[in-house]
Amino acid sequence: MAFYDYRCVKCDKVFEVSHGMTESPEVKCPECGFESVKVPSVCGIVVRGGASHMRDSVIRQTDAKQDLIENYGVENVTPLGGQNFDSVYKDIKSQGTMVKDQMQEKMERNEAKKRVERREWARKAHKRVGARTRKAEEMKKKEAAKKRAISVSS
């Protein structure tokens, strides 16, 4: 059975009627009982079971993930040990700002660690540049000494 939209000719009320695709029943308006005509509409398919609940679940998860990012600072949620996403989401929402504070502290620790690593890298890079610079200066001094030696002996 499919659902079809009908419009009353007298009162313009639009309503749905369910009947087979090959049937063409005479449909009366439920308000005034007057004759109704079928309204052309886009085909609608109702899927029960199958993957439709999964699509709705994905949409709900997407909205929930966006909420976690915007309001709690949680960017990645991975349910562990038999939990599902909904239970983890509810736990985070119930703990409220504590989760946000923990995430903020973790981000600050990671940022501090990165700063230390960058400083260490820069310190090592300066040592390398210093050694290169010393070698280049030594080469220039040797070349200048060779030129002076040649000009003196000529």
Q: How many domains does the chain have?
A: 3
Q: What is the CB neighbour count within 10 angstroms for residue 43?
A: 5
Q: Answer yes or no: do 112 and 154 share one domain.
A: yes
pLDDT tens readout for residues 18-27: 888 778 778 8
Hey, which residues does 3 pair with through a beta bridge? Answer: 18
Q: Which range marks the domain in which residue 122 is found? A: 108-154
User: Is this prediction's pTM over 0.85?
Assistant: no
How far, in Å, CA of 57 to CA of 50, rounded? 12
Q: Answer yes or no: do 32 and 59 share one domain.
A: no
Q: Is residue 44 part of a domain?
A: no
Q: Answer yes or no: do 61 and 82 share one domain.
A: yes
pLDDT tens readout for residues 3-55: 778 888 888 888 888 888 778 778 888 888 888 887 765 554 455 555 555 55
Are 20 and 1 within 8 A, CB to CB? yes
Contacts of 85 (CB under 8 A, 6+ apart): 61, 64, 77, 79
